Structure 1
Amino acid sequence: MNENEKKVIEEIIINTVKKLLVERDCPNRVVLGISNKHMHLTQEDIETLFGKGHTLTNLKDLKQPGQYAAKETVKVIGPKGSFDKVRILGPARPESQIEISLTDARTIGVDAPIHESGKLEGTPGIILEGPCGRIELKKGVMVALRHIHMPLDIAEKLNIKDKDYVSVETEGIRKTIFCNVLARVSEKFDYEMHLDTDEANAAGLNNNDYLKIIPNR
């Protein structure tokens, strides 16, 4: 084992211990994950873009159990511009969905609403282009509503139910309170808050920062 590998392992251990201590002693402290533009695709759309029988390749596991960043990327084409190499997150989903920031939406000329992930009604479509094909989606482009993935034990400690809304306070020179943060509660979730790049940059935040939950009364 070389020095770089040792440092990676030490960092993983330190971050894991820190996370466990925070959840035990301060359950209202949640770690932040910043979401860049990405997409979730159906298996049918994956095969149209990458070839019949193609399955996604796991590039990196994400914090949410079973979720991963795929090696595969796709070109996203809007009325006024495009983005190359937008990452797909796996595994395949029942419906295709593209999550971008408001800045991204304006850049490519798409009127993307702020929606809860998975709620596709009222969302616009877009063109996706892969190495083996092209798809014109009729819907699915959104700015994801800020949210927290919350396991059941943490939700019980904080008296928060699935679909409740909370406020979240940050620290630092750009101290901010984010209101209308959706709590998504499930025994399948790891404890993590998601903001998009616009929101995180405006508040001067980084991945793995800890934020304070303020339940709405």
Structure 2
Amino acid sequence: MDISKELVGKVVCTVLSQLKDEERPKLEIIVNVSARHVHLSQEHLEILFGKNHTLTPIRELMQPGEFAAKETVMIIGPKGVIQNVRVLGPLRSKTQVEISKTDGYTLGIDAPVRESGNVQNTPGCVLVGPMGAIRLEQGVICALRHVHMPDDIAKKWNLRNNQFVKVATCGDRKVIFDKVLVRVSPKFVLEMHLDTDEANASGVKSGDKVYLIN
């Protein structure tokens, strides 16, 4: 078989490029899978759980000051209900409900993929607690996959807040996630968040490691 010099050159370049990629330093990031949850405002907390109620932390999360609370609520959509949805603390200025696309099918809610906190023009739902219920006009989203990154690491890797990067997983179902939002703050610990749909599709579980493709 006559193999052209051009083809040989392309193969050599490809192999050398792969070897260089393997030699480059890699930023290793811990993943935590973010299941459906709710962030509440003070006003809505008191409607759902009673006046002057405070959240009861049961487990600290990786980001400083954040925790899973004992409190849970029911989410009601046009087509279905999901019970025992965990409330996360601390309280926020606006109530926000984070679900997966699969949860959306159950509820009958077409939640857009948004960065946390960006709830403008999003669908709403009904939340029910032990002491009352509220109807949200907006606030239901599928959280955009993202990496929490402290300032020093962002500077070292020449990354900035709200930049998009690619992240590679490991294992039998290795995938590359595109459009991963980088959120930079001196308060953050290095951590990536995926929702349950993304984690299941890629075979990733909480505590696994992924790598930044810079």
Query: Is the shorter-chain TM-score for this pair beyond 0.5, marking a shared fold?
Result: yes
Q: One-letter code of the match for 1:157?
A: K
1:157 deviates by 1.2
Give the % identical residues: 54
- Distance in 2 (alpha carbons) for counterparts of 1:95 and 1:59: 22
2:168, 2:210 within 8 Å by CA — same for their partners in 1?
Answer: yes
2:117 alignment counterpart: 118
Structure 1: which amino acid aligns with 2:88?
L
Cα deviation, 1:11-32, whole Å, max 9, x if unaligned, reads xxxxxxxxxxxxxxx6611000
- Helix, strand or coil: the match of 1:148? strand
Amino acid at match of 1:173: D
What TM-score results when the alignment is normalised by the length of structure 2?
Answer: 0.87
The whole-number CA distance in structure 2 between the counterparts of 1:158 and 1:129 is 44
Letter in 1 for 2:207: N
Aligned to 2:38: 39
Q: Counterpart of 2:20? A: none
- Asked if 1:197 corresponds to 2:196, the answer is yes
**Residue in 1 that maps onto 2:6:** none
Larger radius of gyration between Structure 1 and Structure 2: 2
CA distance in 2, matches of 1:182, 1:91: 22
* Number of equivalent positions: 190
CA distance in 2, matches of 1:27, 1:191: 14
Measured in 2, the distance between the counterparts of 1:139 and 1:28 equals 37
> How many Å apart are 1:107 and its aligned residue?
1.0
What is the aligned partner in structure 2 of residue 128 from structure 1? 127
Cα offset, 1:34, TM superposition: 0.3
1:208 maps to 207
Q: Distance in 2 between matches of 1:67 and 1:116?
A: 17
Q: CA RMSD in A?
A: 0.8
Q: CA deviation at 1:198?
A: 0.2
Q: Contact between 1:50 and 1:131, CA under 8 Å: does it hold in 2?
A: yes
TM-score between the two structures when normalised by the length of structure 1: 0.86
Aligned counterparts of 1:60 and 1:166: Cα–Cα separation in 2: 30
The answer for unaligned runs of 5 or more in structure 2 is 1-24
Counterpart code for 1:163: N
8 Å Cα contact 2:26/2:211 also seen in 1: no
The alpha-carbon deviation at position 69 of structure 1 amounts to: 0.2
Amino acid at match of 1:49: L
Q: Which runs of 5+ in 1 are unaligned?
A: 1-25
Partner of 1:187: 186
1:53-202 → structure 2 map (5 Å cutoff): 53-202=52-201
